[in-house]
Structure 1
Amino acid sequence: MSAAGDELTCEDLKQMLAAGKVTIIDVRKPEELEKGKIEGSVNIPVDNVKEAFSQDPQSFERRFGFEKPAFTSPLIFHCQMGLRGANATATARKLGYTRAQNLKGGFGEWAREEPR
């Protein structure tokens, strides 16, 4: 992880997944999901992150189909290469999600390390 704690590696994410509860948000556009996805991730495009995580818990769950993460829950964002994930992470942190992190290298890095 970076010194600031806002980024994690694929290996860090694998360890978190093995240990249990973590929410992974894929911020790519829906059509980009055809390239593959991280198992268990949920798609909330980067342009919708601020609005989504500003919603009350009931509205969030109705819209996205899962419980809105707590402000202190591990919340991992990723895109294809890392920039949009970093932007989503910064947005979430501004909203109070203290454990929001970006997957370094995004899905592209994950796919290289986790061949199908």
Structure 2
Amino acid sequence: MGDFIDGTVRTYWTKEDLEACQTEMLTVRLATKQISYEDLKALVGKSQNLFLVDVRTKEEVANGRIPGSVHIPVDTVGTALEMNPEEFLAKYGVTKPPLDAPELVFYCRIGRRSEMATNKAHSLGYVLGYTNARNYAGAYKQWSEKEGK
């Protein structure tokens, strides 16, 4: 149901519509695979399979980052992952992760943008088997606190 006022359509949601929307949002949120600080710490600098993506802004990255991460701003993740391998290498200076990348992890400052990036990777096919794109929900905030930076 909606009204057309001053050239704008105003929509009114029923209680059932809102509940269905909230349930769907919760399902998406729970579906995002997570990685803990301890598990990520075990991979950083040790796993050749880790592809760690920092989705924060350039200004945030300038204040510190998790070692070995590649900076791909959240609003460009979809475009980056859809690039052909040569374009990706030229733009980011690293080999593009394959669709079956065993350790593809996204992080930001507090976990929201990286969750969006993880969901974008999932929608592009970066979910195969038990190894898939994951969100480091603890984010750079937790990493810097635990690492004393």
What is the TM-score with the length of structure 2 in the denominator?
0.72
Superimposed CA distance per residue, residues 8-66 of structure 1 (whole angstroms, 9 cap, x where no aligned partner): 11101012225412011000000011321001111000000000000111111111110
Give the one of 60, 80, 91 matched to 2:109.
Answer: 80
Task: Please state if 1:101 is matched with 2:137.
Answer: no
2:93 paired residue number: 65
Aligned residues: 114
1:10 paired residue number: 37
Q: Cα distance, 1:97 vs. partner?
A: 1.0
2:69 paired residue number: 41
Q: Cα distance, 1:72 vs. partner?
A: 1.2
RMSD between aligned residues: 1.5
2:78 paired residue number: 50
Higher RCO (CA 8 Å, separation ≥ 6 residues)? 1
Letter in 2 for 1:53: L
- Runs of 4+ displaced beyond 4 Å: none
Letter in 1 for 2:33: D
Structure 1 spans left out of the alignment, 5+ residues? none
Structure 2 spans left out of the alignment, 5+ residues? 1-29
Secondary structure, in 3 states, of the residue corresponding to 2:44? helix
Letter in 1 for 2:107: H
- Larger Cα Rg: Structure 1 or Structure 2? 2
Query: How high is the sequence identity, in percent, across the aligned residues?
Result: 37
